[in-house]
Amino acid sequence: MTASRTRRIAMLLLVAGVVVIAIAAVTRASGSESRQIVTRSDEATSARPASTHAFSVFLRPRSSADAIDAEGSPQTVPGAATARRLDIDPTVGRAWLSQDKDLICLTVVGNGGSGTNCGASSFVTANGIVLTVGGKTDDAQQLVVGAVPDGVGDVTLKGSEEITVPVRENGYASLAGDVSSQEFQQDGATVKVALR
């Protein structure tokens, strides 16, 4: 081998070594800057469905009391196996909130009637969900039951009268007359939903 050829090979190996070191340094630097740090609470939050972000009642461990009873026709309720019983006055009725795929459903039994109302999760988590059972539209004995997102302290039902009802664990219930809308405060804004 000639001396010039040996110098060229040495120079080539030196350049290749510098390039490898530079690539390793860039990879290590960019990898550490872009690596996401995830805490356990972040993992738990991101793994939860959107409905549980808005309705903490779904975070409560499920018990036998959460099963929708026969009068609520659980075989017809989407997500009946996920249902959680809402904390409403048992003298006026019973209510459950369930979730299935992109739906959140409210099932109510009471006041001589029963039914289920479902809505898209994105709408319900922002606006709540309401169902009226029993009585007649102009009857002051209609049972109005609703579920609203976490952080809502009370709901105003508007119609023939205006009634403010307290919220407990996402749920509320009232014997009311002709109700045309529900209104509540959340994050400093008024959320108003027309019911018909």
In-domain check, residue 41: no
Token digits of residue 103: 């739906």
Instruction: Say whether both 30 and 66 belong to one domain.
Output: no
Indicate the pLDDT class of residue 97, thresholds 50, 70 and 90. Answer: very high
Instruction: Say whether both 27 and 54 belong to one domain.
Output: no
Q: What's residue 25's pLDDT?
A: 40
pLDDT digits (tens, 9 = 90+) for 54-81: 899 999 999 999 999 999 999 999 999 9
In-domain check, residue 131: yes
Which structural domain range is residue 27 located in? Answer: 1-35
Sheet strands side by side (includes 142-147): 129-133, 142-147, 171-176
Instruction: Say whether both 11 and 89 belong to one domain.
Output: no
Cα 173 to Cα 196: distance, rounded to the nearest angstrom: 18
Please report, rounded to a whole number, the percentage of residues in the chain having pLDDT higher than 70: 70
In-domain check, residue 44: no
Q: What's residue 20's pLDDT?
A: 45
Q: How many domains does the chain have?
A: 2
Instruction: Say whether both 25 and 74 belong to one domain.
Output: no
